[in-house]
Amino acid sequence: MIRLPRFKFRLYVAGTTQNSTRASANLSAFCTAHLPERHEIEVVDVLRNPKLAMADRVFMTPTLIKLAPAPDRRMVGTLSQPQLLLETLGLEN
Amino acid sequence: MKSIQRRVTNPSKAPTGIEGFDEITNGGLPYGRTTLLVGQPGSGKTIFGMRFLVHGARACREPGIFVAFEETAQRIVANAEGFGWNLPELVQRKKLFIVDAQPQPDVVQTGDFDLSGLLTALEAQARHMGARRIVFDAIDIMLALLPDPAAKRREMYRLHAWLLEHELTGIITAKAGGDEASSLTEHPFSFVQFMVDCSVALNHSVSLGVSQRNLRVQKFRGSAFDENEAPFVIGKNGFDVAIARALGREDSAVSDERVSSGVARLDTMLGGGYYRGASVLITGFPGTAKTTLSGAFAESACRRGERTMFFSFDSDGTEVIRNLKSVGIRLERFVKSGLLRMVSARSMGGSAESVLVRIKTLAREHQARCLVIDPVSTLAKTGNELTAHGVAERLVDWSKSNGTTLVCTSLLDEMHGQLDGATPLQISTMADTWIHLNYLVQSGERNRGLSIIKSRGTPHSNQVRELILSDAGVTLADIYTAGGEVLMGTLRWEKESAERVATEVAEVAGKLKRVTLKAEEAVLKVRAKSMETELLAKQVEKTLLDRTTQSRKGEQSRGRIRMRQLRGADRGSARTKPEVL
């Protein structure tokens, strides 16, 4: 059995706005469904940590950055389309 | 220059430092409010925005943030280098911050999102550096990512509210495609127009192959502004807006001082020369010595030690210098000493407006007190006539406000120029002094005639004079009128020489007469002298005679008395009749 790669995500949100909470929820649901036991999610609040957001050039919230496995991928929005997420993350089959 | 560079200080305005624009808006953009800047691609939105920030950082102690949605920070810095703004230095001093906010091309969008991230990051940055100004360049790029009009609208309101909350003076630039008016109303986010406090449209059009840039303030809440379209140019210093006359600008000071035209007799005809700060127009057909006359003016200005600038649209500056040398006007020493700057403007392309801006910029750089534009009618060729007229007007206006003495020549069209009539730019109505040069063809000769058509505020000769160019210089000769006809050239020369001969003959005759008279006078004098001597001799002779007679008489009477005494008779009778001999 091949060892599947572990996924590292960083999710930028802006406080507890509707979009932010929705994105958090969507991401958690997605990970439990498709990446059980092999995901890590770091949630960054831009209101608390604007410097990191600037460094990462995150200007739209919510933004999801896939840090591992390489390469980095970015997604903006509430992550409301699981199919698109699968495609972007290369998890289709 | 002073009246334009004088800063309009207005607490409710944030000056942009863009010459002309601050005058149009009476001080600048609304302070602490948002301005929308719309324009086609390449209309100068980014430059306008960056100029605003640079001026704020350098002149108003207002640091600024530039949010670039379209270009990378490096490219913006590199582009600004062309205008000499030195952005890296401002960035280092924390007076300017450039945010690279381009959407990454590989970004995947799933579902709704908002700008909170950007605004929070900007808020932290603004607080950190004390920013007062902010520019969102190409907001349309960002808005295009938003899925639906409602979201676009929501985010624009979010942005606007954020700007107002932080009292930042903001510029939001957005593209407008094609026709300005329709694109703004039909644009998916035209509501921005209603939201902002000030709106400026930049327009870039091409008319007859000539590029023309215009700027128009569409709205400005709570402020008076010039509503007309104002041409502008993106030049060496960035952004330059041309205005005819700003709101409430006072008249420029006038001078009674006279400056020489470079031709002594022309000065006499004008009652002492041109007025300082006047606009002088020299019209004429090709080859009527317009350039020579303006060259003479330039030379005399340099002799007085005044900084002078000579724009030559017809030929190269060096050619002009060489050609003028042949008529005794030597300019190269002044060019060498830096007093005179020749600008070969033949290569100066572009619209009339951009030519004017170039003229203004160069003249300002050179600090020219006297300016020659040869010929100004070129303006009408490079742009279309409609704008060229306005340009000529602004040229005259500008030189007056600076006190620059302006001499421009204008080529008259052979076709309609015969009427001594209007010049192509109608500059003749604006000029203070209008000198017209004409050809007079007569008995196989073409001679140059000069006349003063008008000269405001000064008595001037009504005579047509002949303009004579020789290697000794430029001079004016009286012309002869014979039998109701004006004589020039050889005819004048013949007449002159005939008169010369006549005077010579008369002079010789006079001399001869004088000599004869002198001789006669001498003869008479001699005669008078000899007669005087003769008279004296006669008088002496007469006295002598008298004396002899008397003594003889005495002798005789004494003799008779003695005789009587001796005779001793005739006593009485001898006394009464002594004379009887």
Instruction: Determine contact, residues B474/B467, Cβ cutoff 8 Å.
Output: yes
Mean pLDDT value of segment B51-57: 90
pLDDT at B534: 94
| B579 pLDDT tier (thresholds 50, 70, 90) | low
Nearest CB partner across the interface for A19, out of B106, B113, B118? B113
Query: What are φ and ψ of residue B142, in 5° steps?
Result: -70, -40
Q: Going by DSSP bridges, is the β-strand pair B169-175/A63-68 parallel, antiparallel, or unpaired?
A: unpaired
On whether the CB atoms of residues B168 and B31 are closer than 8 A, the answer is no
d(CA B356, CA B378): 11
User: And the tokens for B451?
Assistant: 């006349």
Can you tell me the mean pLDDT for B187-193?
Answer: 68
Within 85-114 of B, beta carbons closer than 8 Å to A belong to: 99-101, 103-104, 106-114
Rounded Cα distance between B99 and B118, Å, is: 10
Which of the pair, A60 or B413, is modelled with greater confidence? A60
pLDDT for position B382: 53
Contacts of B111 in chain A (CB under 8 A): 19, 22-23, 26, 77-81
Mean pLDDT of B106-114: 79
Q: Please, what is the end-to-end C-alpha distance for chain B in angstroms?
A: 124
Q: Which residue of A has its CA nearest to B119?
A: A59
Residues of B in Cβ contact (< 8 Å) with A91: none
**Residues from chain B contacting residue A14 (CB–CB below 8 Å):** 114, 116-117, 120
User: Which pLDDT does position B252 carry in this prediction?
Assistant: 60
What pLDDT shows up at residue B527?
A: 94
pLDDT at B7: 45
Please, what is the end-to-end C-alpha distance for chain A in angstroms? 16
Nearest CB to A19 within list B114, B118, B145: B114
Pairwise pLDDT comparison (B428 vs B548), residue with the higher score: B548
The Cα A70–Cα A18 span in angstroms is 30
pTM (2 decimals)? 0.65
Contact A17 B114 (CB under 8 A): yes
In the prediction, which pLDDT does B146 show? 78
Taking CB atoms and an 8 Å cutoff, what residues of chain A touch B107?
74-76
The rounded percent of chain B whose pLDDT value lies above 90 is 12
Q: How confident is the model at residue B184 (pLDDT cuts 50, 70, 90)?
A: very low
Q: How far is CA A46 from the centre of its chain?
A: 14
Q: Do B112 and A88 touch (CB under 8 A)?
A: no
Of B107, B120, B145, the CB nearest to A47: B120
DSSP E strand boundaries for B239-339 = 240-241, 258-259, 274-275, 279-284, 308-312
Q: Which of A14, A54, A57 lies closest to B125 in CB terms? A: A54
Q: What is the pLDDT of residues B15-28, one digit of tens each?
A: 888 877 888 888 88
A90 phi-psi bin (left φ>0, alpha ψ -120 to 50, beta other): left
Q: Cα(B298)–Cα(B335) distance, rounded to whole angstroms?
A: 11
Nearest by CB to residue A17, choosing from B100, B111, B116, is B116
pLDDT digits 0-9 by tens, B522-544 = 999 999 999 999 999 999 999 99
Looking at the domain assignment, is residue A63 inside a domain? yes
Mutate to test the interface with B, among A22, A76, A89 (most CBs of B within 10 A): A76
Whether residue A92 lies inside any domain: the answer is: no
In a domain, A36, yes or no: yes
* Chain A interface mutation, best of B110, B137, B141, highest count of A Cβ atoms under 10 Å: B110
pLDDT at B3 over 60: no
Indicate whether B318 pLDDT > 60.
yes
The mean predicted confidence, pLDDT, of chain A is 83
In this prediction, residue B523 carries a pLDDT of: 94
- Whether B118 has its CB under 8 Å from any CB of chain A: the answer is yes
Residue A91 domain-assigned (yes or no)? no
Mean pLDDT (whole number) for B490-519: 88
The answer to whether the CB atoms of B110 and A61 lie below 8 A apart is: no
CB contact (8 A) between residue B115 and residue A60: yes
Of A18, A49, A51, A60, which to mutate for an interface test with B (greatest number of B Cβ within 10 Å)? A60
Cα angle, residue A74 at apex, residues A71 and A79 outer, rounded to 5°: 130
Q: Which pair of tokens denotes residue B239? A: 């952004």
Task: Answer with the residue of higher pLDDT: A91 or B21.
Answer: B21
Q: Measure the CA angle with vertex B456, ends B455 and B462; round to 5°.
A: 35
Which residue's structure tokens are 């210093």? B237
- Cβ contact, residue pair A78, B110, below 8 Å: yes
**pLDDT number for residue B515:** 94
How far does the CA of residue B348 sit from the closest CA of chain A (Å)?
A: 44
Give the per-residue pLDDT at B518. 94
Which residues 6+ apart lie within 8 Å of B473 measured at CB?
A: B296, B327, B328, B329
Position B509 confidence tier, pLDDT thresholds 50, 70, 90? very high
Mean per-residue pLDDT, A12-38: 85
Nearest-neighbour CA in chain B from A23: distance (Å): 9
Q: Which of B113, B118, B125 minimises the CB distance to A62? A: B113
Comparing A30-39, B216-225, B238-247, B511-520, the range with the smallest average pLDDT is B238-247
Q: What is the pLDDT of residue B531?
A: 93
More confident residue, A62 or B569: A62
Closest Cα in chain B, distance from residue A30 (Å): 13
Alpha helices in B367-488 (DSSP H): 378-382, 385-402
Chain A environment of B117 (Cβ under 8 Å): 12, 14, 46, 53, 58-61, 63
Q: Is the pLDDT of residue B468 over 90?
A: no
Catalogue the E-assigned strands of B421-522. 433-442, 445-455, 465-470, 473-477, 480-482, 485-487
The verdict on residue A93 lying in a domain is no
Nearest CA-CA distance, residue B317 and chain A, Å? 54
Looking at beta carbons, which pairs linking B286-291 to residues 24 or more positions away fall under 8 Å?
A: B286/B411, B288/B437, B288/B438, B288/B439, B288/B448, B288/B467, B289/B437, B289/B448, B289/B467, B289/B469, B289/B474, B290/B374, B290/B375, B290/B409, B290/B410, B290/B411, B290/B437, B291/B320, B291/B323, B291/B324, B291/B374, B291/B409
pLDDT of B188 higher than 70:
no
| Cα three-residue angle B126-B65-B192, rounded to 5 degrees | 100
Domain count, chain A: 1
- The C-alpha atoms of residue B4 and residue B19 are separated, in whole angstroms, by 7
ipTM: 0.84
Spatial distance between the Cα atoms of B496 and B519, rounded to a whole number of angstroms: 35
Q: What is the DSSP letter of B370?
A: E
Between residues B247 and A91, which one has the greater pLDDT? A91
Residue A58 has a pLDDT of 82
pLDDT of residue B471: 80
Euclidean distance between CA atoms B527 and B530, whole angstroms: 5
Taking the Cβ of residue B359 and every Cβ of chain A, the question of whether any pair is shorter than 8 Å is answered with no
Q: Which residue of B has its CA nearest to A48?
A: B120
What is the bridge-based pairing of β-strands B308-312 and B370-374? parallel
Using alpha carbons only, give the angle B369, B370, B376 rounded to the nearest 5 degrees.
135
Q: Pseudo-torsion of CA B105, B111, B115, B116, nearest 10°?
A: -130
Taking the C-alpha atoms of residue B512 and residue B508, their distance in angstroms, rounded to an integer, is 6
Rounded-to-integer distance, Cα B288 and Cα B292, Å: 9
Closest chain A C-alpha to B72 CA, distance in angstroms: 12
Q: Indicate if the pLDDT at residue B280 is higher than 80.
A: yes
What does the longest C-alpha to C-alpha distance in chain B come to?
193
Q: Do B101 and A57 touch (CB under 8 A)?
A: yes
Mutate to test the interface with B, among A27, A59, A61, A66 (most CBs of B within 10 A): A59
pLDDT surpasses 50 at B419? no
Give the closest-approach CA distance of A37 to chain B in angstroms: 24
In a domain, A27, yes or no: yes
Cis preceding linkage at A62, omega within 30: yes
CA B254 to CA B273: how far, in whole Å?
A: 15
Backbone angles phi, psi at A41, to 5 degrees: -120, 125
Query: Residue B335 in contact with residue B325, Cβ under 8 Å?
Result: no
Q: Nearest residue on chain A to B115, judged by CA atoms? A: A60
What is the spatial distance between Cα B49 and Cα B71, in angstroms, rounded to a whole number? 13
CATH of the domain at A19: 3.40.30.10
Taking CB atoms and an 8 Å cutoff, what residues of chain A touch B121? 46, 50-51, 53-54, 58-59
Q: Select from A19, A50, A61 the Cβ nearest to the Cβ of B123.
A: A50
Is A88 part of a structural domain of the chain?
no
Say how far apart CA B152 and CA A22 lie, in whole Å. 19
The predicted pLDDT at position B6 comes to 42
- Does A89 reside within a domain? no
Mean pLDDT in chain B? Answer: 80
**In the prediction, which pLDDT does B11 show?**
64
Closest residue by Cα to residue B39 from B252, B245, B215: B215
Give which of A18, B346, B382, B266 is closest to B280, Cα–Cα.
B266
Domain that holds residue A65: 7-83
Closest Cβ opposite residue B110 in set A17, A46, A85: A85
| Other C-beta atoms lying within 10 Å of the C-beta of residue B471 | 8
